[in-house]
């Protein structure tokens, strides 16, 4: 299976539909999230090396097949306790800082904060994008 972010999202939604309850502990949520990614990785045509807590990134997949070159194929940040500014300055900044082909942030904002969060994340991404000098 070749995984794209769209496929990962669809698989995530199917997998967790009705499975996690708000009454579940934070540890149960975190374990469930990372177990999902681990199981999904095993379904790939060539599973990648998994790492946790690499440079403040919660979970990632690393391609080590072309030694000594290694690429980070997927970086995942998961935050159970949502605090708006801390999420932007912590988890989102970690994802912006790491050189990875695909990046996923999972959090649970309060009702009504979703649009503002998406807007602020987009703004940070635009500010962080490297500008190439114009050549004449």
The number of CA neighbours under 13 Å toward the Cβ of 49 is 11
> Whole-angstrom Cα distance, residue 79 to residue 108?
8
CB-count burial class (<10 Å; 0-12, 13-18, 19+) for 112: exposed
Residues 34, 126, 80: CA angle, nearest 5 degrees: 25
Instruction: Give this prediction's pTM.
Output: 0.85
What is the strand order of the sheet 100-107 is part of?
49-54, 57-63, 71-79, 100-107
Number of other CB atoms surrounding residue 42 within 10 Å = 11
pLDDT tens, per residue, the chain with 136 residues? 678 899 999 999 999 988 777 777 778 888 999 999 999 999 988 889 999 998 889 999 999 888 788 899 999 999 988 888 899 999 999 999 999 999 999 998 988 899 999 999 999 988 877 665 655 4
């Amino acid at each position: 299976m070749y995984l794209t972010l769209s496929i990962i999202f669809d698989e995530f939604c199917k997998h967790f539909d009705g499975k996690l309850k708000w009454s579940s502990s934070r540890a149960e949520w975190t374990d469930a999230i990372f177990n999902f990614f681990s199981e999904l990785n095993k379904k790939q045509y060539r599973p990648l090396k998994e790492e946790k807590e690499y440079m403040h990134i919660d979970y990632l997949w690393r391609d080590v097949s072309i030694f000594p070159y290694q690429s980070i194929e997927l970086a995942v940040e998961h935050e159970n306790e949502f605090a708006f500014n801390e999420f932007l300055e912590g988890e989102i900044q970690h994802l912006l800082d790491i050189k990875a082909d695909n990046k996923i942030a999972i959090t649970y904002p309060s009702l009504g904060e979703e649009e503002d969060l998406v807007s602020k994340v987009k703004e940070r991404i635009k500010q962080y994008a490297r500008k190439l000098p114009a050549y004449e």
